[in-house]
């Protein structure tokens, strides 16, 4: 017997339009969309109905798993806490970032991310989780053991996205040493001499390992059909390198030139939603709002604040005349879905998964009043 849910009197974001109408969910899929109110079903009272948000890059799970330096929380409890906050922010598909490669900056031991991934998969199989969880492996290519860590995920179908990162000083995110000094010298209380040695070691590791590891990881991803992301591209040479590696997602470019070149090359340019909400980058690099204003911003990620993924599109639509609300919502729904090959979600259309969010927003911060995943209310 079919299970049917009717959602009525909603402002439904369908493609580039906002339709005042009703929607029918049947057996976990969107069955019908019609203009006008229905007498049956849940009355939205004019609230928005948008696709479930798709989160491609979030480190939020780490905050629950390792809430203090050296502390490891119960994995299942950490995952459930993370998942609850994700779902109540309107996120129905989340790519949990798992770090590959440990160095003297910390990180995790070999096998630790695999254990966390196993716990996510077990929790999902047990029906504990509200959102659907997939894996984004954040590969620190300048780390000597990144390939060893990556090997733990050799046959894992949950791995749908891999980013190639190099956080060595003097390039990419840390072209300016000001932020690197704040991150690593002042917070650690290093002397000038100790900091100089630290910088030299990081730069030497990058020179020794980064290119080879980047090439090998890109090759493996191409063989397995995994979407590849570049990270913190700053120059046109970085973009050319990304094109050669088949990159489809340009994460957090640090200059307009790199963002524009990536966008023109057909990559989806991703920036942090917190950057939009705050109006600036926490690292002192280019503001996401500037990229949006200049037409080269495609995807938003919540990065470290889950609710920012719902909040930021409304900020963009409010502040930038050229960006309508449907276009801004596409940055957190249809475009990320298309970028990673999830063609069954991210839009409100008949036949697609009924991943949906009811959003109340009169002004200020929007509220996710309800979230459905595959037609089942999960928040």
Are the C-beta atoms of residues 139 and 103 closer than 8 Å to each other?
Answer: no
What is the DSSP track for 293-336? HTT---EEE-BT-TTHHHHHHHHHHHH-TT--HHHHHHTTTHHH
Q: What's the pLDDT band for 54 if we cut at 50, 70, 90?
A: very high
Residues 28-53 pLDDT 10s: 999 999 998 777 889 999 999 999 99
Q: What's the pLDDT band for 187 if we cut at 50, 70, 90?
A: low
Question: pLDDT value at position 178?
Answer: 62
Question: pLDDT value at position 40?
Answer: 81
Q: What's the pLDDT band for 270 if we cut at 50, 70, 90?
A: very high
Q: What's the pLDDT band for 264 if we cut at 50, 70, 90?
A: very high
Rg (CA), the chain: 21
Query: Mean pLDDT across the stretch 185-213?
Result: 78
CATH assignment of the domain containing 194? 3.20.20.140
Lowest model confidence (mean pLDDT) among 46-55, 84-93, 192-201: 192-201
Does 250 fall in a domain? Answer: yes
Query: Mean pLDDT across the stretch 50-68?
Result: 94
Residues 155-168 pLDDT 10s: 999 999 999 999 77
Does 37 fall in a domain? Answer: no
Q: Which DSSP symbol is given to 132?
A: E
Does 137 fall in a domain? Answer: yes
Residues 328-363 pLDDT 10s: 999 999 999 999 999 999 999 999 999 999 999 998
Domain of 280, in residue numbers: 51-346
Q: What's the pLDDT band for 103 if we cut at 50, 70, 90?
A: low
369 pLDDT above the threshold of 80: yes
Whole-prediction pTM: 0.92
Lowest model confidence (mean pLDDT) among 40-54, 195-209, 246-260, 293-307: 195-209
317-329 b/e with 16+ CB inside 10 Å = b?
Answer: beebeebbbbbbb
Are the C-beta atoms of residues 378 and 87 closer than 8 Å to each other?
Answer: yes
The span from the CA of 90 to the CA of 370, in Å, is: 8
Average pLDDT of the chain is: 91
Round to the nearest angstrom and report the end-to-end CA distance of the chain.
Answer: 25
Does 18 fall in a domain? Answer: no
Q: Which DSSP symbol is given to 106?
A: B
Question: pLDDT value at position 313?
Answer: 98
Are the C-beta atoms of residues 354 and 29 closer than 8 Å to each other?
Answer: yes
Question: pLDDT value at position 280?
Answer: 64
Q: What's the pLDDT band for 196 if we cut at 50, 70, 90?
A: confident
Backbone angles phi, psi at 53, to 5 degrees: -75, 145
Give percent above pLDDT 70 in the chain. Answer: 91
Q: What's the pLDDT band for 105 if we cut at 50, 70, 90?
A: low
The span from the CA of 300 to the CA of 336, in Å, is: 8
Tally of domains in the chain: 1
Query: Mean pLDDT across the stretch 106-127?
Result: 90
- For 25, the enclosing helix (H) or strand (E) is strand 17-26
Does 22 fall in a domain? Answer: no
170 pLDDT above the threshold of 60: no
Q: Which residue has the higher pLDDT, 67 or 198?
A: 67
The span from the CA of 159 to the CA of 154, in Å, is: 9
Lowest model confidence (mean pLDDT) among 1-10, 223-232, 244-253: 1-10
The 10 Å Cβ neighbour count of residue 281 is 20
Question: pLDDT value at position 207?
Answer: 85
Query: Mean pLDDT across the stretch 160-181?
Result: 73
Question: pLDDT value at position 186?
Answer: 59
Q: What's the pLDDT band for 224 if we cut at 50, 70, 90?
A: very high
């Amino acid at each position: 017997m079919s299970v049917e849910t009717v959602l009525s009197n909603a402002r439904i974001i369908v493609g580039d339009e906002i339709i005042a109408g009703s929607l029918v969910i049947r057996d976990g899929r969107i069955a019908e969309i019609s203009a006008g109110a229905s007498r049956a079903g849940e009355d939205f009272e004019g609230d928005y109905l948008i696709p479930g948000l798709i989160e491609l890059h979030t480190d939020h799970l780490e905050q629950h798993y390792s809430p203090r330096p050296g502390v490891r929380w119960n994995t299942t409890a950490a995952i459930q806490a993370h998942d609850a906050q994700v779902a109540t922010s309107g996120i129905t598909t989340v790519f949990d970032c798992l770090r590959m490669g440990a160095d003297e900056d910390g990180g995790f031991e070999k096998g630790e991310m695999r254990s966390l991934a196993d716990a996510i998969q077990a929790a999902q199989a047990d029906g504990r989780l509200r959102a659907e969880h997939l894996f984004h492996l954040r590969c620190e290519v300048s780390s000597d053991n990144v390939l060893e860590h990556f090997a733990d995920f050799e046959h894992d179908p949950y791995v749908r996205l891999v980013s190639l990162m190099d956080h060595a000083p003097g390039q990419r995110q840390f072209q300016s040493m000001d932020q690197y000094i704040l991150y690593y010298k002042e917070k650690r209380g290093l002397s000038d001499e100790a900091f100089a040695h630290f910088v030299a070691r990081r730069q030497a590791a990058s020179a020794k390992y980064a290119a080879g590891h980047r090439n090998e990881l890109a090759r493996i991803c191409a063989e397995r059909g995994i979407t590849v992301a570049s990270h913190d591209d700053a120059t046109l040479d970085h973009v050319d390198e990304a094109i050669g590696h088949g990159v489809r997602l340009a994460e957090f470019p640090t200059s307009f030139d790199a963002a524009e070149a990536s966008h023109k090359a057909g990559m989806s340019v991703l920036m942090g939603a917190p950057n939009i909400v705050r109006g600036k980058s926490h690292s002192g690099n280019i503001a996401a709002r500037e990229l949006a204003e200049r037409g080269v911003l495609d995807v938003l990620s919540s990065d470290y604040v889950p609710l920012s993924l719902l909040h930021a599109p409304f900020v963009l639509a409010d502040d930038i005349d050229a960006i309508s609300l449907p276009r801004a919502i596409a940055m957190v729904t249809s475009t990320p879905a298309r970028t990673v090959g999830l063609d069954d979600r991210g839009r409100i259309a008949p036949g697609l998964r009924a991943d949906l969010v009811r959003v109340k927003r009169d002004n200020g911060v929007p509220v996710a009043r309800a979230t459905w995943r595959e037609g089942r209310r999960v928040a």
